Structure 1
Amino acid sequence: MIEKTPASFDYGSLADLYIEYMKRSEPFTMPNDHFHDYYEIYYLLSGKRIYFVHDRSYPVEQGDLIFISRHVVHKTLYAGEASHERVIIHFDQHFPESFTPELRGLILSPFEQHIHVLRLPRQEQLVMEQLIRRLLEEIQQRPPGFELYPPIAVTELLLHAARYLQKHEFVPLSHATPMHAKITEIVRYINHHFSEEIRLSAIAEQFYISSYYLSRIFKEITGFSFSTYLTITRIKEAQRLLRETDQSITEIAAATGFDNFSHFGKTFKKITRLSPRDYRKHL
C-alpha cells in the first residue's frame, strides 16, 4: 500500500525510462522553469494541484493523467491543498523505437492532443490506478525479475490511454476563473509573437489589464514571471531552430526576438547550460 511507502523513491534513468514516486505534506510549487527533451506522464494519486502546460493552467485532481510531449513548457503549482502524492514517468524518444511506426504513433498519440489533462471516467480511473500501484509496488519491493515490469506497465498505460482516446476526446477542463482564461489568451499571444518586441506594458494595454496586475496575476496563474516565460519561449524556439535548420546562430538569435547577440548567447547558456554552438554540436 502507498501509505506504507517512503516519502519518495525512484527507478531507472533519464537516458531510458525513469519513474518517480513523491509524497509531500508541505506546500510546494516547482521551482524550476521546466521543459526537456523527453516525454513525461504525470499521475496524481491524491490531493490537488495546478498544472501549467504549454499555454494554460489546469486544475488537477486525484486520478488525472497529464501527458507532456518533448520540449513543452510546464510547471506544477500549489493549489491550496498541501498534501499530495504523484507519480512521474519520463522516457526519451528511444523507448518506443522497438515498435512499428504504426504502433509507435498509437502509443504516443496521448501526447499529441490539444488538451493535456486526461480525466477518465471512474471505472477507467480504477484500471489506471491499479496499474500505477502495481508498478510502484514492483519498483519499491524489487522482487526477482522486477526490472521486466516497468516498460511493460508504461506501455500498457499508454496503450490504454490511446485506445480510450480513439473512442473519446479529451474533455476540456473549464478555466477556474475568467482571469485564467484571459491569461491563456495572453500566453497564446506570446507563443505566436515571441519573435517580435513584446513589452508587459503594451500587452497589459492590449488586453485591458493594468501592468501591475498583469505582472502579479501572470505569475500566480502560470508559475512564471512574464519576462521569464517570454525568455523561455524564445530559447525553446532557438533550440528547435538549432536542431532542425542550418540557420546561423546570429540568424537564430534575430529570429527568436533577441536584438543583442551577446545577450542571446548568455541567456541560452543560462537556461540550457550549453552555448548555442555546443548545443548544436551535441545533437
Structure 2
Amino acid sequence: MEELYYDNGNETFLVHYRSGPSYRMTTSHFHATYEFFYMMDGQRKFFIKDRTLLIEAGDIVVVAPNVLHRTTQAQTPDYERLVVNVHERYLSADGAARTEGLRPLFERDYLLLKKGTYASAAIDTLAEQMIREVQEKRPGYEDYARTLTIQLLISCCRQLPVQTGEPPAASNPMHERIFEVVRDINERYMEELTLERLAERHYVSPYAISRSFKEATGFTFVEYVNSVRVKEAIALLLGSPLKVNVIARRVGFGSVTHFGRVFKEVTGKAPLFYRKKG
C-alpha cells in the first residue's frame, strides 16, 4: 500500500493520496470543506446525501461542505484515489469573494464527472503535480498545492455535464426504497424516528429496512440517523446562540447527555468545541 497525507493543522486544507487494498471508512464523513475525490484506478461505492453511486477509474466527485457521505468497498479490492479538502476561503484571490468559475460548486450539493465526459489529461496532470508537491515539500508547496486545487475545481466546473432530471433509480428495488427512507430521515430528523414508524410510512417491514440499510448506504440505520442529527447540530452550534440543551432537543435527541455522547462518537469532539469555533 502507498499513502501520502498532508494536513495543514487547522482543518482548512488536506491532501490524501492512497493506493492499495480497499478499506472501510469507519466514521461518518462530513466537514466544513469542499472535497475533491478523484478515483484514479479501481472502484468504490460512494454514498452521498440520499444516493449510492458506483465510482470507477476516471470518475470525479466534488462534495460541498457539510454534505454527509461515505465510501465503501466495491467489487474491485485494490484502488487508487486522490482526495483534497479545501475551505471556501481558499477558493478566491482575496479570500472572500467567490470565484465566478466555481459557481456550479456553490450551487449544488455535489458534482459528478464520469470518465469520458470530460478532458481527463488536464486533470491527470494537475493531480500528479499535487501529489508531487506534497511529496517533495519544496518551499511554498502548500500555496502551490492550493492553487492546483483551484485549477482542478475550475476545470471540473467548466467541464461539468448538463444535469437534467432526477438521478437514475437504483438497480435494486429494495435499495431504492431505502433511499426513500433516507430522504425521509433527512427531512424529519428532528422527530422521533424508529424503524417501526418509518417502515409503516414506507410500506415495508422494519426487518427489511434494518437488513438492507447498511448494504444500500454504508451506514447502519441508527448510525445514519445520529449522523444527520449531529450534522444539523453543528450548523446550529456555529450559526446560532442557542444553548446546547436546546439544540439537542431541536435536532431530535431526548436528553443532552445522550446528545453529548453521540456527538463525541460521531465527531470525536464535544459540542462546545464547535461553539468556540463559531
| TM-score of the aligned structures, taking structure 1 as reference length | 0.86
Does residue 269 in structure 1 map to residue 264 in structure 2?
A: yes
2:25 corresponds to which of 18, 27, 30: 30
Indicate the larger mover: 249-258 or 223-232.
249-258
Structure 1 unpaired stretches of 5+: 1-5
- State the Cα deviation string for residues 32-88 of structure 1 (Å, max 9, x = none): 122122221110000111001122111111111111122121111101110100000
Corresponding residue to 1:18 among 14, 17, 25: 14
- 1:71 aligns with 66
Question: How far off is 1:10 after superposition?
Answer: 2.8
Residues in 1 aligned to 2:140 and 2:238: alpha-carbon distance in whole angstroms: 38
Q: Cα 1:199–1:174, aligned 2, differ >3 Å: closer, same or farther?
A: closer
> Deviating runs (4+, > 6 A) in structure 1?
none
Alpha carbons 1:64, 1:117 under 8 Å: kept: yes
Task: Say which SS state the counterpart of residue 241 (structure 2) adopts.
Answer: coil
What residue number does 1:169 align with?
A: 163
Quickly say closer, same or farther: Cα 1:137–1:231, change in 2 above 3 A: same
Q: Answer whether contact 1:52 1:58 (CA < 8 A) is retained.
A: yes
SS at match of 2:246: helix
Could you report, residue by residue, the CA deviation over 1:234-266 in whole angstroms, capped at 9, with x for unpaired residues?
111111111112222222122111122322232
Distance 1:170 1:64 in 2: 19
Question: Is the 8 Å Cα contact of residues 29 and 78 (structure 1) preserved in structure 2?
Answer: yes
What is the distance in 1 between the residues matched to 2:94 and 2:162? 24
Instruction: Choose from 29, 49, 52 the match for 1:54.
Output: 49
The CA deviation at 1:97 is 4.7
Q: Does 1:258 pair with 2:253?
A: yes
1:224 Cα shift?
A: 0.7
Q: State the alpha-carbon separation in 2 of the partners of residues 116 and 177 from structure 1.
A: 23
Q: Which SS does the other structure have where 2:248 is aligned?
A: helix
Q: Distance in 1 between matches of 2:237 and 2:257?
A: 17
Q: 2:116 aligns with which of 108, 117, 121?
A: 121
Q: How many residues align?
A: 276
1:146-192, Cα deviation, whole Å (9 max, x unpaired)? 55531221111111112223x73389455342233222211110000
> % of aligned pairs identical?
31
Q: What does residue 214 of structure 2 align with? A: 219
Report Cα offsets for 1:87-133 as digits up to 9, x if no partner.
00011233125347664353263253255422253551233223212
Contact 1:38 1:93 in 2 (8 A): yes
Q: 1:232 to 1:100 in 2, by over 3 A?
A: closer
The answer to which of 84-93 and 139-148 deviates more is: 139-148
Change (3 A) 1:29 1:246: same
Structure 2 Cα separation of the partners of residues 142 and 250 of structure 1: 45
CA contact (8 A) 2:41 2:56 kept: yes
Contact 1:58 1:173 in 2 (8 A): no
Residue identity in the other structure for 2:68? V
1:98 match: secondary structure: coil
Give the one of 179, 184, 189 matched to 2:179: 184
Can you give the 5+ residue segments of structure 2 that lack an aligned partner in the other structure?
A: none
Answer whether contact 1:21 1:136 (CA < 8 A) is retained.
yes
Q: Distance in 2 between matches of 1:135 and 1:55?
A: 31
* Conservation of the 8 A alpha-carbon contact between 2:63 and 2:109: no
**Quick check: 88-97 or 71-80, which moved more?**
88-97
* 2:203 is aligned with 1:194: no
Q: Output one character per residue of 1:13-41: Cα deviation in whole Å (capped at 9) or x when no partner.
A: 2534221210123x422111221222211
Classify 1:254/1:141 alpha carbon distance in 2 versus 1 (closer, same or farther; 3 Å): closer
CA–CA distance in structure 2, aligned partners of residues 105 and 251 of structure 1: 38
* Cα distance, 1:238–1:17 mapped onto 2, change above 3 Å: closer
